Amino acid sequence: MPEVIVIGSGTGVPSLNRASPAILLKTKNTFVLLDSGPGTLRQLLKVNITFSQLDLILYTHFHPDHITDLIHFLFASKYTPGFQRKTPVFIWGPPGFLEFYNKLKQAFGSWIEVSKDKITLAEIPPGSLWAYEDIYIQPFSTFHTPHSQGYCLHTEGKKIAYTGDTDFDLSLVDAVKDADLLICEASFPASQKVEGHLTPTLAGELARKANAKCLLLTHFYPECDAIDIGAECRQSFTGPLYLAQDLMHIEL
């Protein structure tokens, strides 16, 4: 059955306890990485996975805490001695992703230009449907930046939804409906709510309205670690609840 590993449960705030955002989905045949904040590739080594084993990388948006290790990934793909691939790594993101990549190339030049037999980049817009090996992928719009999006991944009879960063909107309920696992951001306590982000209570409300079977809260700013995150979430959601910790495994 599919397995989810929290690679980083934190944000852009440097923390010894919480690495920057990244989630790994392991299916029978495939390793999928969702976002890669700074330090993700090193963090993956702690669960015995090297960057070279990744098959598909999905980005939710272009904030540095979610995408910085793309630079590291490209550089490592080019300059790790002996590194080869039978098939390219697919790297997909929201509309604007290719422009973002071209700007990175302007900054770093040929140091991050990797041959097409090793990587393939594409934009996959909200509302489209994609397949990779044993996984169907549906991006959906989120409420954070003009192009931010989350992903529903369908595999082995399970639906896994990942919001990335978002504020609350009822359209999210439809997008993540009946997820077996909803991986949802919960950046700040209700008393310090920030526009463009959720609170544990709002994340719980989304899970309840969407009839999620299980909820995993992540993307915790230090303010969240100063409160009882679970208690705030329990005001709106009574189902199975995980509070992300780095390197936590969840089997579906």
Closest CA to 226 of 190, 176, 201, 197: 190
Closest approach, Cβ 192 to Zn ion, in A, equals 16
**Residue environment code for 88-123, b if the CB has 16+ CB neighbours within 10 A, otherwise e:** bbbbbbbeebeebbeeeeeeeeeebebeeebbebeb
Site for Zn ion in 72-111 (CB under 5 A): none
Strand runs labelled E in the chain:
3-8, 22-26, 31-34, 56-58, 89-93, 119-123, 130-132, 135-141, 149-155, 158-162, 181-185, 215-218, 241-243, 249-251
Question: For Zn ion, which is the closer residue by CB, 55 or 65?
Answer: 65
Question: For Zn ion, which is the closer residue by CB, 146 or 157?
Answer: 146
From the CB of residue 17, how many other CB atoms can be counted at a distance below 10 Å? 11
65 binds Zn ion (CB under 5 A): yes
Closest approach, Cβ 164 to Zn ion, in A, equals 7
Query: Which residue of the chain is nearest Zn ion when measured via CB?
Result: 63
63 binds Zn ion (CB under 5 A): yes
197 binds Zn ion (CB under 5 A): no
User: How do 89-93 and 56-58 pair as beta strands?
Assistant: parallel
In contact, 189 and 224? CB cutoff 8 Å: yes
Which segment (89-97, 103-111, 132-140, 163-171) binds Zn ion by CB under 5 A?
Answer: 163-171
35 binds Zn ion (CB under 5 A): no
Closest approach, Cβ 62 to Zn ion, in A, equals 8
232 binds Zn ion (CB under 5 A): no
**Phi and psi angles of residue 234, each rounded to the nearest 5 degrees, phi first:** -65, -15
Question: For Zn ion, which is the closer residue by CB, 172 or 252?
Answer: 172
192: buried, middle or exposed (CB in 10 Å: 19+, 13-18, 0-12)?
A: middle
Which segment (2-10, 78-86, 162-170, 220-228) binds Zn ion by CB under 5 A?
Answer: 162-170
Question: For Zn ion, which is the closer residue by CB, 155 or 187?
Answer: 187
Which one of 55, 69, 165, 167 is in contact with Zn ion (CB under 5 A)? Answer: 165
In contact, 123 and 98? CB cutoff 8 Å: yes
Give kind and range of the element (H or E) at residue 245.
none
How many chain residues interact with Zn ion (CB under 5 A)?
Answer: 3
Which segment (55-63, 93-101, 105-113, 171-179) binds Zn ion by CB under 5 A?
Answer: 55-63
Binding residues vs Zn ion (CB under 5 A) = 63, 65, 165
